[in-house]
Amino acid sequence: MDTQTKSDQGEVRLERNGALATLWFDRPQARNAMTWTMYEGMARALDEIATDRSVRVAVFRGVGGKAFVAGTDIAQFKAFEDGQDGIAYEQKVDAYMERITRLPMPTLCVVEGWAVGGGMAIANACDFRIATAGARFGVPIARTLGNCLAAGNLRALAVTLGVPMVKRMLLLAEMPEAEELLHQGYLLAVCAPEEIDAKQAEIVEKLQGHAPVTMKVTKEALRRLETDLTPADEDLILECYGSRDFAHGVESFVAKKPAGWAGE
Nearest partner of 38 among 103, 118, 112, 116, judged by Cα: 118
pLDDT score, position 76: 87
- Amino acid occupying residue 219: K
**pLDDT for 8:** 87
Average pLDDT (33-46) is: 96
CA dihedral of residues 195, 106, 109, 137 (deg, nearest 10): -120
Asked whether residue 26 carries a pLDDT value surpassing 60, the answer given is yes
CA 47 to chain centre: 14
Which pLDDT score, from 0 to 100, does residue 4 have? Answer: 47
Task: State residue 85's pLDDT score.
Answer: 93
Reported as a pLDDT band with limits 50, 70 and 90, residue 3 is very low
- Answer yes or no: pTM beyond 0.85: yes
**Tell me: the pLDDT tens digits for 211-221?**
999 999 999 99
The answer to whether the CB of 129 falls within 8 A of the CB of 188 is yes
**Considering only CA atoms, which of 118, 107, 96 is closest in space to residue 40?**
96
pLDDT of residue 6: 53
171 or 227: whose pLDDT is higher? 171
Q: Under 8 Å CB-to-CB from 150, ≥6 apart: which residues?
A: 90, 91, 93, 94
Rounded Cα gap, residues 137 and 3, in angstroms:
30
In the chain, the amino acid numbered 58 is A
Asked if residue 157 lies in contact with residue 124, where contact means CB atoms within 8 angstroms, the answer is yes
- Tell me the pLDDT band of 2, cut-offs 50, 70 and 90: very low
**pLDDT tens digits, residue range 45-63?**
999 999 999 999 999 999 9
Domain extents in the chain: 7-208, 212-254
Average pLDDT across the chain, whole number = 95
Nearest CA to 123 among 188, 205, 49, 50? 188
7-208 domain in CATH 3.30.465.10? Answer: no
* Rounded Cα distance, 202 and 155, in Å: 30
> Once rounded to an integer, what is the mean pLDDT over residues 90-98?
94
For residue 82, pLDDT beyond 50: yes
Q: What is the pLDDT of residue 7?
A: 65
SS (H, E, C) the chain: CCCCCCHHHCEEEEEEECCEEEEEEECHHHCCCECHHHHHHHHHHHHHHHCCCCCCEEEEEECCCCCCEECECHHHHHHCCCHHHHHHHHHHHHHHHHHHHCCCCCEEEEECCEEECHHHHHHHHCCEEEEECCCEEECCCCCCCCCCCCHHHHHHHHHHHCHHHHHHHHCCCCCCEHHHHHHCCCCCEEECHHHHHHHHHHHHHHHHCCCHHHHHHHHHHHHHHCCCCCCCCHHHHHHHHCCHHHHHHHHHHHCCCCCCCCCC
